Chain A
Amino acid sequence: MAGTTPLPARRRRRFDGVALLLVCLVLWQAVASWTNGIAVSPPLVALAYLADLMGQGSFWGHVGATFAAFLMAFVLSAVLGLLLGLVLGVWRFAGEVWEPILAGFYTIPKVTLYPVVLLIAGLGMSAKVAFGVMHGMVPITLLTLASIRNLSPTLLRTARVLRLPPSRIIAWILVPSCLPDITAGLRIGFSLSLLGVLIGEMFSSQRGLGFLLVSGMAQHNVPLTTAIVLLIVVLAIAANTLMLRYLKF
């Protein structure tokens, strides 16, 4: 698409993008100056602190803990969500029974359930993962279900007219036509399982980025909190942008 856009428009868009980034930085700086750096560190301080953190081994331990929990939560969400979505999409009756229940679960404040998760799974990795899955799995299920249910009957009829065997129907029809919705679901699931893991760490944990965030505040270590927020924002937006760009069908 970029190739077809005329040059001036592209240049203008790039200019606008840079302008947006600058506005964000100026706003950030303004908030930091307004609070005298007691509540929020200015951009340069936060960046310097982040660079400093990256030189420390203990920091990478926290990053690793969050990453491991997130990865496990996301993979579990994806596998379980896709499977459940597939079953509920193909078996219509069950799909109709379960859809409102899942949609309802999607909109409740799941934080309130975290103590239950902690009571069952105990403090630590498994609670975080379970909480991440609670957040990430439902949207993947719902979107997979919807995409299979909305599969155009004409496509299936065409497949039968062409006398395709079931394996080909799945590979040539089902998967390609459901892919856009499913990847959208995976993208949301990605974000929400990260959210679940981070909330878990913020509430009660001794490790991970969420823990650093809260402990930075408890110890009045403002640069630490600001740096972690910056790191998570940049990573989340980068991951999302990459997925938006490369998982397009």
Chain B
Amino acid sequence: MNRGRAVFLVRLALLVGAVVVLEVLCRNGVIDSLAILPPSEMFDAMIERVGSGDLNEGMAQTFSTIGIAFVLALALGTLAGAVLHRVPRLRAVLDPLLASYYSVPTFIFYPLLVAIFALGKTPLVILGMMSATPAVVISTLSGLDGVPPVLLKLARSQRLGRLRTLCWIVLPQALPRLFSGFKLALSYALIGVIAGEFLLSGTGLGYAISFAYQSFDNRAMYGAMLFVLLIAVTANGLLYGWEARLSRRRSRQ
């Protein structure tokens, strides 16, 4: 327990220290403040941009796109995972594809998607889905594989029907692995959508950053960037904490 606290405090000190050092170096002119803004000014810029409301439309766009991509990825991914689990032959065929899927940088399809669906929400949703769905498929498969046969026997010996076996045995048993897939899916959808906006689009938070960069408005750029990163860290942190709570009950000795 004590060690855990020490680790936490050192980590905190490290992060705070890094920010302070950066601030000092920027203020002293060691780092060109045209290239990197002092952290305090980044923070001011973020408050300013969020407060002024000029990010509101971008936020609405980005969050709704990520949300749609995430939900679709969950639905499609769990469905595909369940189907593959039931059809071993199909699974054997698709396994190599799943294993090397993430070695292909998904973003290279984005120009094609834009060409097919025109600039807008659709190609971004699809890019987000393409990044997130396989993670859900993989975790669904591993979750279903992880249900011990004895529990299925138990279900039969208690005369549970299919639906009840699914809801009372299979889903709760597979939940931790499913959840870690969902967590990955959210961060992949987020990365995919924001990167898509950043590379090529006319709306969204990612676009706000690249637009500010192209128009040499560093203050605006850093403000938006800090905002996006804080959102991403918070979202991932929440899911991480939730996952830890979920698995603690099962592994505490």
Alpha-carbon separation in the docked complex, A52 to B14 (Å): 54
Q: Is the CB of B199 within 8 A of A199?
A: yes
Classify the interface of chain B: helix, strand, loop or mixed.
Answer: helix
Task: Tell me the nearest residue of chain A to B222, going by C-beta.
Answer: A116
Q: A39-B112, A225-B115 are in contact. Are A232 and B105 (CB under 8 A)?
A: yes
B108 close to chain A: CB less than 8 A: yes
What is the CB-to-nearest-CB distance from B207 to chain A, in angstroms, rounded to a whole number? Answer: 11
A100 close to chain B: CB less than 8 A: yes
Which one of A111, A113, A199, A226 has the highest number of Cβ atoms from chain B below 10 Å of its Cβ? A111
Q: Is the CB of A237 within 8 A of B100?
A: yes
Alpha-carbon separation in the docked complex, A115 to B96 (Å): 36
Q: A107-B232, A198-B107, A213-B111 are in contact. Are A93 and B100 (CB under 8 A)?
A: no
B150 close to chain A: CB less than 8 A: no
Chain A residues positioned under 8 Å from B213 (CB to CB)? 115, 118
Q: Is the CB of A236 within 8 A of B100?
A: yes
B35: contacting residue among A100, A109, A119, A217, CB under 8 A: A119
Q: Is the CB of B237 within 8 A of A111?
A: no
- B-contact bits for A170-191, CB 8 A (1 contact / 0 none): 0000000000000000011011
Q: What's the count of A-B pairs with C-beta under 8 Å?
A: 150
- Count A-side interface residues using an 8 Å CB cutoff: 58
Q: Is the CB of A213 within 8 A of B209?
A: no
Residues 1-58 (chain B) with a chain A CB within 8 angstroms = 3, 6-7, 10-11, 14-15, 34-36
A217: contacting residue among B115, B228, B229, B236, CB under 8 A: B115
Chain B residues positioned under 8 Å from A240 (CB to CB)? 99-100, 103
Chain B residues positioned under 8 Å from A225 (CB to CB)? 111-112, 115
Chain A residues positioned under 8 Å from B105 (CB to CB)? 191, 194-195, 198-199, 232, 236
A151 close to chain B: CB less than 8 A: no
What is the CB-to-nearest-CB distance from B21 to chain A, in angstroms, rounded to a whole number? Answer: 15
Task: Tell me the nearest residue of chain B to A107, going by C-beta.
Answer: B187
What is the CB-to-nearest-CB distance from A105 to chain B, in angstroms, rounded to a whole number? Answer: 9
Q: Is the CB of B103 within 8 A of A112?
A: no
List 14 A-B residue pairs with CB atoms under 8 Å apart, sorted by A's residue number: A20-B93, A20-B94, A39-B116, A93-B6, A119-B35, A190-B103, A198-B108, A202-B107, A210-B108, A216-B111, A222-B115, A237-B100, A237-B103, A237-B104
Return the 9 tightest CB-CB contacts between A and B, nearest first: A39-B115, A240-B103, A195-B105, A240-B100, A191-B103, A115-B213, A217-B111, A39-B116, A107-B187
What 13 additional pairs, Cβ within 8 angstroms, besides A97-B10, A113-B229, A116-B35? A40-B116, A97-B14, A109-B190, A111-B194, A111-B198, A112-B209, A120-B35, A188-B102, A195-B105, A199-B195, A228-B108, A236-B103, A237-B104
